[in-house]
Amino acid sequence: MSTHPHSPPIAVCPGCVAMPDTGVEQEVKDARIALSLPTIHCQGCISAVERGLNAHPGVHDARVNLTLKRAMITAGPDLQATDLIPVLEGLGYEAHELDPGTLTMTGADRAGRELLMRLAVAGFAMMNVMLLSVSVWSGATDATRDLFHWISAGIAIPAIAFAAQPFFRSAWGALSVGRLNMDVPITLAIVLALITSLWETSLSGEHAYFDAALALTFFLLAGRYLDFRTRAIARSAAAELAALEVPRAIRLTDDGAETEVAVADLSVGDLVLVRPGGRMPVDGQVVSGRSELDRSLLTGETLPVFAEPGLAVSAGEVNLTGPLTIRATAVGQDTSLHRMADLVAIAESGRSRYTSLADRAARLYAPGVHILSALSFVGWFLWSGDVRVALNIAAAVLIITCPCALGLAVPAVTTAASGRLFRRGMLIKDATALERLAEVDTVVFDKTGTLTAGTPELTNLDDFSQADLGVALALAQASSHPLAMSLRKAALAQGIEPAQVDDIAEQPGYGTQGQCQGRLVRLGRATWVGADQGTQTAAWLAIGDDAPAAFRFTDALRPGAAETVQALQQAGKCVLMMSGDTRPAVKALADRLGIADWVAGALPGDKVARITELGEQGHKVLMVGDGLNDTAALRAAHVSISPASALDAARVASDIVLLGQDMSPIAESCETARRATRRIRENFQIATVYNLIAVPLAVAGLATPLIAALAMSASSITVSLNALRLR
Amino acid sequence: MDVLVYLIPVSLILGAVGLLAFVYTVRSNQYDDPEGDSRRILSDEWDDHPKP
Q: How far is A403 from chain B (nearest CA, A)?
A: 27
Given a cut of 60, whether residue A5 has pLDDT beyond it is no
pLDDT score, position A8: 40
Predicted confidence (pLDDT) per residue in A203-240, tens digit: 888 888 888 889 888 988 888 888 888 777 777 777 77
Helices (H) and strands (E) in chain B, counts: 2, 0
Q: Are residues A363 and A509 in the same domain?
A: no
Given a cut of 90, whether residue A540 has pLDDT beyond it is no
A464 in a structural domain: yes
Q: Are residues A117 and A222 in the same domain?
A: yes
Angstrom distances, CA of residue A526 to CA of A37, A208, A514, A539: 43, 87, 17, 7
Set of chain A residues whose Cβ sits within 8 Å of the Cβ of B43: 43, 46-47
Predicted confidence (pLDDT) per residue in A697-727, tens digit: 888 877 777 887 787 788 888 888 888 887 6
Q: Which residues contact A358 (CB under 8 A, 6 or more apart)?
A: A182, A406, A409, A410
- Domain end, chosen from A527, A557, A587, is at A557
Q: Does B23 touch chain A (CB under 8 A)?
A: yes
The dihedrals phi and psi of A272, each to the nearest 5 degrees, come to -120, 130
Return the half-sphere exposure (C-beta side, CA atoms, 13 A cut-off) of residue A190: 29
Distance from C-alpha of A156 to C-alpha of A344, rounded to nearest angstrom: 49
The lowest-confidence range among A129-133, A154-158, A197-201, A688-692 is: A688-692
- Domain end, chosen from A45, A73, A98, is at A98
Choose among B23, B35, B40: nearest Cβ to A120.
B23
pLDDT score, position A153: 93
A7 in a structural domain: no
Please name the amino acid found at residue A210.
F
pLDDT score, position A351: 58
Choose among A68, A117, A155: nearest Cβ to B23.
A117
DSSP A291: E
A9 in a structural domain: no
Question: Burial code of A40-50, b = ≥16 C-beta within 10 A, e = fewer?
Answer: beebebbbbbb
Domain that holds residue A495: 454-557
Are B19 and A117 a contacting pair at CB < 8 A? Answer: no
DSSP codes joined into one string, A179-190: ---THHHHHHHH
Which is more confidently placed, A190 or B45?
A190
Predicted confidence (pLDDT) per residue in A613-651, tens digit: 888 888 888 999 887 778 888 888 888 898 887 777 777
Angstrom distances, CA of residue A615 to CA of A348, A465, A670, B44: 12, 53, 18, 61
Which helix (H) or strand (E) element contains residue A551? strand A549-557
For the segment A525-544, the average pLDDT, to the nearest whole number, is 79
- Domain end, chosen from A41, A65, A98, is at A98
For the segment A186-208, the average pLDDT, to the nearest whole number, is 87
A115 in a structural domain: yes
* CATH number of the domain to which A489 belongs: 3.40.1110.10
Q: Are residues A71 and A123 in the same domain?
A: no
Are B19 and A127 a contacting pair at CB < 8 A? Answer: no
Q: How far is A42 from chain B (nearest CA, A)?
A: 7
Set of chain B residues whose Cβ sits within 8 Å of the Cβ of A151: 8
Return the half-sphere exposure (C-beta side, CA atoms, 13 A cut-off) of residue A459: 14
Which is more confidently placed, A551 or A352?
A551
Please name the amino acid found at residue A188.
L
Residue pair A518/A545 in contact (Cβ under 8 Å)? The answer is no
Angstrom distances, CA of residue A515 to CA of A293, A471, A491, A521, A526: 27, 10, 20, 6, 19
Residue pair A55/A73 in contact (Cβ under 8 Å)? The answer is no
Which site among A42, A46, A149 would you substitute to test the B interface, given the most B Cβ atoms closer than 10 Å to its Cβ? A46
Q: How far is B49 from chain A (nearest CA, A)?
A: 16
Q: Are residues A212 and A125 in the same domain?
A: yes
Angstrom distances, CA of residue A29 to CA of A5, A25, A82, A270, A669: 13, 6, 19, 29, 47
Q: Which of A717, A651, A690, A712 is nearest to A238 (CA)?
A: A651
Residue pair A157/A194 in contact (Cβ under 8 Å)? The answer is yes
Return the half-sphere exposure (C-beta side, CA atoms, 13 A cut-off) of residue A724: 6
Are B22 and A46 a contacting pair at CB < 8 A? Answer: no
A211 among known catalytic residues: no
Strands A442-445 and A621-624, by their bridges, are parallel
A574 in a structural domain: yes
Q: Does A55 touch chain B (CB under 8 A)?
A: no
Residue pair A287/A310 in contact (Cβ under 8 Å)? The answer is no
Of these residues, A446, A468, A555, A626, which one is catalytic?
Answer: A446
Distance from C-alpha of A564 to C-alpha of A558, rounded to nearest angstrom: 10
Residue pair A259/A251 in contact (Cβ under 8 Å)? The answer is yes
Predicted confidence (pLDDT) per residue in A112-145, tens digit: 888 889 999 999 999 889 888 888 888 777 888 8
Other CB atoms within a 10 A radius of the CB of residue A630 amount to 37
Distance from C-alpha of A16 to C-alpha of A169, rounded to nearest angstrom: 53
Q: Are residues A366 and A232 in the same domain?
A: yes
How confident is residue A2, by pLDDT bands cut at 50, 70 and 90?
very low
What ipTM was reported for this prediction?
A: 0.83
Q: Are residues A67 and A23 in the same domain?
A: yes
Return the half-sphere exposure (C-beta side, CA atoms, 13 A cut-off) of residue A688: 11
A8 in a structural domain: no
Distance from C-alpha of A407 to C-alpha of A46, rounded to nearest angstrom: 40
How confident is residue B52, by pLDDT bands cut at 50, 70 and 90?
low
Angstrom distances, CA of residue A313 to CA of A310, A333, A641: 9, 16, 28
Residue pair A610/A578 in contact (Cβ under 8 Å)? The answer is yes
Q: How far is B48 from chain A (nearest CA, A)?
A: 16
Given a cut of 70, whether residue A367 has pLDDT beyond it is yes
Q: Are residues A214 and A252 in the same domain?
A: no
Helical spans, DSSP H, in A594-664: 604-616, 631-636, 648-653
Which site among A40, A41, A43 would you substitute to test the B interface, given the most B Cβ atoms closer than 10 Å to its Cβ? A43
Size of interface A-B (CB pairs under 8 A): 49
Choose among A66, A113, A127: nearest Cβ to B26.
A113
* CATH number of the domain to which A47 belongs: 3.30.70.100
Q: Does B48 touch chain A (CB under 8 A)?
A: no
Q: Are residues A578 and A662 in the same domain?
A: yes
* CATH number of the domain to which A612 belongs: 3.40.50.1000
Backbone φ/ψ region at A696: left (φ over 0), alpha (ψ -120 to 50), beta: alpha
The CA radius of gyration of chain A, in Å to the nearest whole number, is 33
A502 in a structural domain: yes
Residue pair A617/A593 in contact (Cβ under 8 Å)? The answer is no
Task: Describe the crossing of helices A665-699 and A705-724 by its angle, rounded to 10 degrees.
Answer: 170
Q: Are residues A318 and A366 in the same domain?
A: no
Q: Does A46 touch chain B (CB under 8 A)?
A: yes
- The domain total for chain A is 5
For the segment B22-34, the average pLDDT, to the nearest whole number, is 83
pLDDT score, position A159: 94
* CATH number of the domain to which A335 belongs: 2.70.150.10
A6 in a structural domain: no
Q: Are residues A470 and A593 in the same domain?
A: no
For the segment A405-418, the average pLDDT, to the nearest whole number, is 81
pLDDT mean across residues, chain A? 81
The dihedrals phi and psi of A578, each to the nearest 5 degrees, come to -130, 130
- Counting residues of chain A whose pLDDT is more than 90, the rounded percentage is 5
pLDDT score, position A27: 45
Choose among B8, B16, B43: nearest Cβ to A47.
B43
Are A43 and B42 a contacting pair at CB < 8 A? Answer: yes
Q: Does A155 touch chain B (CB under 8 A)?
A: yes
Q: Are residues A193 and A50 in the same domain?
A: no
Residue pair A456/A476 in contact (Cβ under 8 Å)? The answer is no
For the segment A267-275, the average pLDDT, to the nearest whole number, is 85
The dihedrals phi and psi of A166, each to the nearest 5 degrees, come to -55, -35
Set of chain A residues whose Cβ sits within 8 Å of the Cβ of B8: 151
Q: Are residues A546 and A500 in the same domain?
A: yes
Predicted confidence (pLDDT) per residue in A24-37, tens digit: 444 456 778 888 88
Helical spans, DSSP H, in A321-426: 336-346, 357-384, 387-401, 404-423
